[in-house]
Amino acid sequence: MKGHEYTLLDVFTDRAFSGNPLAVFPQAEGLDTATLQAIANELNLSETVFVGQASGPNRYPMRIFTPTMELPFAGHPTVGTAHLLMELGMAERDRPLTLEARVGPLVVAFDQALASFTTAEPVSILASTLNQVAAAELLGLESGQVVGEPVLASCGLPYHLIELDSLEAIERARPAPSAWAEWVSPSGHEQIYLYVAGDESADSEVLRTRMFSTEGGVREDPATGSAAAALAGKLATSKKGGDLWRWRIEQGIEMGRPSRIFAEAERDKNGLAIRIAGQAVIVGTGTLRVTA
């Protein structure tokens, strides 16, 4: 039996027991896919990250697993892993860190307490299987509380984006499993992201969000960077003036795990660059004994 060390972090927060929990195995080379999936299932967190041996200076392969599947990309694992590698001295703060995910290379930069990554894929926006009436039925709301038609947006992991008209609506929202099976499951993309536009500060707009997915039943996630990236891309495509937009996204409030995600979209000659940033704190370490 060989011991494999891991670290527990709370991501998209600056204090323990808030944000989104994450387990990272910083030296996971030699473990096969079946073992990685079994470990993620054993820990039963929304995501567990396995980091392989460095493939170049400040460059590491990274695999992300939920308890039931491997993901091509996820935001809070990217931010949390970057913070940990820097804390362990495996990454240098003053140069870009590249994490090689299934979706492609994710380039991370550090700015004071924030780790910020640029998505590997541009945003894509398609029609959702939900319409305004179906989204209201799904969430137990009145149709007038859903703003416009939902869309399916992705920067590597697709989400049905549903805009609501008020904080009261987003707090009341409760996805119904029967409506989910009728309207969401047929799309093959079992993630929805609710959002409400809020106040604008000097340099950013504040949004309140909630994310629901199916992982052993409909469940809520306290902080979802990949969804924030999709939302930033969607919002930026509708902007008519300027070339740089920023959002501060508050998620996890209803779960008692408040999280803060910083999103940015910048339009240049190459298209739309989307960046997600956040903090992370280490809350524990452990050793898992497995047969390697």
Confidence (pLDDT) at 216: 74
How far does CA 185 lie from the centroid of its chain?
Answer: 20
* Phi, psi of 219, deg, nearest 5: -135, 160
How far does CA 166 lie from the centroid of its chain?
Answer: 23
* Phi, psi of 56, deg, nearest 5: 175, 180
Q: Does residue 253 have a pLDDT over 90? A: yes
Residue of 5, 47, 171, 190 marked catalytic: 47
| pLDDT tens string 88-105 | 999 999 999 999 999 999
The most distant pair of C-alpha atoms in the chain lies apart, rounded to whole Å, by: 60
Query: What would be the CATH architecture of the domain defined by 2-119+279-290?
Result: Roll (3.10)
Listed residue (46, 53, 7) closest to 28, CA to CA = 53
Listed residue (280, 211, 216) closest to 249, CA to CA = 211
Integer Cα distance of 44 and 15 in angstroms = 21
The residue length of the chain stands at 292
Confidence (pLDDT) at 240: 82
- Percent of the chain, pLDDT > 70? 98
**Cα angle, residue 102 at apex, residues 84 and 238 outer, rounded to 5°:** 90
Confidence (pLDDT) at 215: 80
| pLDDT tens string 40-84 | 999 999 999 999 999 999 999 999 999 999 999 999 999 999 999
Confidence (pLDDT) at 201: 64
Q: Does residue 23 have a pLDDT over 90? A: yes
Q: Does residue 47 carry a catalytic annotation?
A: yes
Print burial letters for 187-196: b (CB count within 10 Å at least 16), e (below 16).
bebbbbbbbb
Q: Does residue 292 have a pLDDT over 60? A: no
Q: Strands 2-11 and 20-25: what pairing?
A: antiparallel
| pLDDT tens string 168-181 | 999 999 999 999 99
- Are both 2-119+279-290 and 124-269 of the same fold? yes
Is the pTM of the predicted complex or chain greater than 0.85? yes
- Percent of the chain, pLDDT > 90? 90
| pLDDT tens string 184-212 | 999 999 999 999 998 776 678 999 999 99
3-state SS of 95-140 is CCEEEEECCEEEEEEEECCEEEEECCCCCEEEECCCCHHHHHHHHC
Domain ranges of the chain: 2-119+279-290, 124-269
The domain made up of 124-269 has a fold known as: Diaminopimelate Epimerase; Chain A, domain 1 (3.10.310)
Integer Cα distance of 91 and 32 in angstroms = 25
| Angstrom distances, CA of residue 56 to CA of 189, 237, 250 | 34, 35, 35
Instruction: State the average pLDDT for the chain.
Output: 95
Confidence (pLDDT) at 202: 60
Listed residue (193, 139, 138, 197) closest to 166, CA to CA = 197
Q: SS3 for 195?
A: strand
Integer Cα distance of 242 and 266 in angstroms = 9
